[in-house]
Amino acid sequence: MTDPAAAIAQLIALAGITPDEDELQAMVDALPVQREAVAALYRVPGVRYEVPCLTWNAIP
């Protein structure tokens, strides 16, 4: 995957938030595990054509 430190730096810059160095490092350390967990969500049987559990009504 992309270098976690570079990826987090980009995401943080895009969001505009300003974490401290140790907070940033915790996010960098967590990123590989997070991405693997997200990838596993695409391997769930039956999910390929499922609709998300989001509700939306035309009348507010």
Partner 1 sequence: MTTYPSIADAAAALRAGEVTSVDLVEEALANADRLDGELGVFIRRFPEDARAAAQQADAELAAGQDRGPLHGIPLGVKDIIATVEAPATAQSLVLDPGWSTPEGDAPVVARLRAAGGIVVGKTSTYEYAIGFPDPEKPFPIPRNPWNVEHSPGGSSSGTGAGLPAGMFLGGLGTDTGGSIRIPAAYDGITGLKATFGRVPKSGCVPLAYTLDHIGPMTRSARDCALMLGVLAGHDVTDPYSSQRPVDDYAAALTGDLTGLRIGIDSLERTGDVADPGLPGVIAEARAVLVAAGAEVVDVQLPLYEELVTAQLITMAAEAATYHMPDLLTRWHDYGRGARAFIGGGVAYSATDYVQAQRVRRVGQQAVAQLFTRVDLVVTPTSSTGAFALADTKPTRMFEVMRGLHTQYWNSVGNPSLSVPWGFTATGLPLGMQITGRPFDEATVLRAGDAYQQRTDWHLRQSPLVQTVAA
Whether residue 34 contacts residue 8, with contact meaning beta carbons closer than 8 Å, is answered with no
- Does 58 contact partner 1 by CB under 8 A? no
- Does 52 contact partner 1 by CB under 8 A? yes
| CB atoms inside a 10 Å sphere around CB 24 | 16
Question: What would the x/- binding string for partner 1 be over residues 7 to 36, using CB under 8 A?
Answer: -x--xx-xxxxxx--xx--xx--xx--x--
SS3 category, 10: helix
**Binding interface with partner 1 (CB under 8 A):** 8, 11-12, 14-19, 22-23, 26-27, 30-31, 34, 37-38, 40-42, 44-47, 50-54
